[in-house]
Structures are given as C-alpha cells and as structure tokens.
Amino acid sequence: MNTLVTKTSSEPTKQGKSIIKGIGIAALLAIASCSQNGLRDESRVGYVESPRNALPTDSSPIASSEAFAQPAKERPGLATTWGNSVKQPLGDLRFSRATPAPVGVDAIFYNNREGLEAMGGKDQKVSGMQVAAGGIIEWGIKGSIGMLPAYKSWVNQGHRRFVQGSHGAEYSIVVKNCCKCRVQVILSVDGLDVIDGKPASVKRPGYIIDPDQTLTVKGFRTSYDTVAAFQFSSVSESYANMRHGETRNVGVIGLAAFTEKGFDPWTWMPQEIKMRDTAQPFATAP
C-alpha cells in the first residue's frame, strides 16, 4: 500500500528573505538615548503548515474522524504584511523625555468591512484625524487616495477607533504635532515596533516630530533610508506571523507620545491661539 508523504521546504520564502534583510536596522538604534542592545532575530522566520497525519490502515485504532480532521482554518479579517520598498529616511532619534511614562497612549483598530461589522465598529463615522495624548497630537490612517474610512464605537465600556481597509491595499500612519515643542512617538502595528520589528514597548526609541509638523510613517523600517510599505494582508501572510509566528495582536495600530524635557507642550496650544485670535475689544456692542 502506498504511503502518503507530506514535504515541507526549508527554503525561506521570498518575503522571508526580505524580512531577514531588515534586521540590520538595529545598529541605527544605538544613537538613541533609550535604545537597547543590537537587534538579533531569534524568532522563527517563515510560516510552515504542520504536515498532515498519514492515512491509517483499516486496522488502525485511530478513529476515521481524526484521520480526516479539517486543517486549521485561516483567521478571518485583515493583518499587515511587508509591501513595496519605499524611500523614507529615519532621521535623528536623540530625545530626552520629560517623564519616563508617555503623556498619552492611543490605539486604532482596523479590519475589512465584514470584520468591522462583526466587531461592532461602525456605530459613528468620524474624521480620519483624531486628537490624542491630551490634544498635543492628531493622528489617523491614510490610504492611497486619502484617509481611510474611520469610525468610533462604544465597545467594552469605552470608546474605540476603527478604520476600514481592504486586502492588498497599502496604508500609512499620519501623526501631526499640534504643540510648540518637539514630541516623540512610538508606533506599533500588530503589536510590533515599526522601527525594528520587535514586540512593541514604550521603552523603545521613536520618531521625532518638530513643532507644527506632520509625520507620515509608510512602513516597517528595513534600513536607514527605506521602509517596507504597510500592506493589508491575510493573517497567515502577516509580518507578525512570518517573523514571530505570533498573530495574537493583529488588527491594531498603537501610538505612545512623549514630550521633551525642559519644555511645556501646553503653553501655546491651538485652543489658546484661537481664543486670542477671536478676542473681542468690547464686551458688548457700542
């Protein structure tokens, strides 16, 4: 009787090879005051399906229902994988934080239309850019031709933000500094730091945004000058799965904001400027 044999390849996928190239970015993080040791990829690269059991003989004690059990299903909804290479210099990471803890942490959840409906994430449509961190920043998710459809819903005793994406489309994270001093932002996608691809932590270095400027982060960093574009994908094709074999945190984009030591970011906020611009010379009409 013939024996069923399942072969698995040990060769890394093309995407896996691209991931390996990005690991050298760790050397750049040494210049940051809060950087850690150099990056080494000690995690699994590549996603390999478990081989199926060989079919049992008629005398096998294994029940036929187990022998023909369905393989694990693909998780539904969107995740993020590596897209095309995009030029985006890293910039200076040196920054002295005013406090060890961030002044604000925020999250945006994403999925396709069916996923958002299942999550109850389409209650109220809102502007693509929303304030966070006490008003010192605004941020949102941008697609190829504008901000992605954005929603706010009451979920689990609190408001959550959602954006709707589509499989294969690329996107960017847009962050505007609304205050008059520099801010530092740590960004994560699917639980991974966008600069080095490690599990995200607020202790890692982050991008610096000058006063009144807007930062657009286009992808996971692969070198000082380039990033791999954020691209919506299936869960099994995600960067989180390809690099770490972990998909628990797919579907969320995170932000943590820090202010700079020696500066008060709330001194000249937009609300104060607006009040002064609209000040009236007389309390009542003459």
**Tens-place pLDDT, residues 2-35:** 443 434 343 444 444 444 444 455 545 554 544 3
> pLDDT per residue over 160-199, tens digit each?
999 999 999 999 999 999 998 999 999 999 999 999 999 9
Who's near 89: CB < 8 A, 6+ residues apart? 224, 225
Residue reference for tokens 């850690």? 36
Dist CA 238 CA 240 (whole Å): 5
> For the CA atoms of the chain, what is the radius of gyration?
23
Residue 89 confidence (pLDDT): 93
Residue 36 confidence (pLDDT): 34
Provide the residue ranges of all domains of the chain, joining segments of one domain with +. Answer: 77-263
72 has pLDDT over 60: no
Identify whether the C-beta of residue 41 lies closer than 8 Å to the C-beta of residue 243: yes
Task: Reduce the secondary structure of 184-236 to three states and give it as a string.
Answer: EEEEEECCEECCCCCECCCCCCCEEECCCCEEEECEEECCCCEEEEEEEECCC
Q: Phi and psi dihedrals of 262, rounded to 5?
A: 90, 5
Say what the pTM is.
0.74
CA dihedral 218, 147, 170, 233 (to 10 degrees): 120
Residue reference for tokens 């992808």? 219
